[in-house]
């Protein structure tokens, strides 16, 4: 027989996870859902998630999809049920590292594109272009540091 965490522990941890997510500029609901699923020994349906967190099924569904795209939760099929059930990826290190890597890569790509555009629109070597090239060098170093940090954490 599987044991469940007490409802008070679930709600307190979900509240904590929501606040933590918000402190990292994520949606509070994303953190609450992940926090709730993280503690569970068995998958929960969207209805269960919504009920336990006092949120609409629609809000739960939207945020579950986001968590799925991050690899933080996965859908699970239960025999005899047509409902959608979900469980957390409990490898928190992997989830966090993937999210940080994706977020930084996206931002570095955007910055690099803008710097290339600025360099191409200039006319000759100027002080501004030298400084832009220094920023490009910093982006290259940041990409190398990301690889090192990922290896170090893993």
pLDDT at 66: 95
pLDDT at 148: 84
Instruction: Assign 75 to helix, strand or coil.
Output: strand
- Render pLDDT for 21-71 as a digit per residue (tens, 0 to 9): 999 889 999 999 999 999 999 999 999 999 999 999 999 999 999 999 999
Q: Is the pLDDT of residue 2 over 70?
A: no
The residues pairing with 85 across neighbouring beta strands, listed in sequence order, are 45, 76
Q: Across the beta sheet with 73-76, what order do the strands follow?
A: 44-45, 85-88, 73-76
What are the residue ranges of helices labelled H in 1-45? Answer: 7-23, 28-39
- Render pLDDT for 75-100 as a digit per residue (tens, 0 to 9): 999 888 889 899 999 998 888 888 88
Cα separation, 45 vs 76, whole angstroms:
9
pLDDT at 1: 42
Strand 73-76 and strand 85-88: the pairing is: antiparallel
pLDDT at 42: 94
Give 124's pLDDT tier (boundaries 50, 70, 90).
low
Q: Can you say how many angstroms the Cα of residue 140 is from the centroid of all Cα atoms in its chain?
A: 24
Classify the C-alpha dihedral 83-54-32-24 as positive or negative: positive
pTM, full prediction: 0.76
């Amino acid at each position: 027989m599987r044991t469940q965490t007490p409802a008070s522990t679930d709600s307190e941890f979900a509240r904590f996870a929501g606040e933590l997510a918000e402190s990292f500029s994520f949606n509070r609901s994303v953190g609450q859902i992940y926090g709730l699923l993280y503690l569970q020994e068995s998958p929960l349906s969207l209805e269960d998630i919504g009920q336990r967190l006092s949120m609409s099924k629609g809000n739960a569904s939207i945020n579950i999809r986001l968590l799925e795209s991050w690899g933080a939760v996965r859908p699970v099929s239960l025999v005899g049920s047509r409902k959608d059930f979900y469980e957390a990826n409990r490898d928190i290190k992997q989830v966090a590292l993937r999210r940080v890597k994706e977020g930084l890569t996206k931002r570095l790509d955007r910055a690099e594109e803008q710097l290339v555009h600025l360099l191409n629109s200039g006319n000759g070597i100027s002080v501004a272009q030298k400084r832009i090239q220094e920023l490009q060098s910093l982006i290259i170093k940041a990409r190398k540091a990301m690889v090192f940090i990922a290896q170090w954490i893993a």
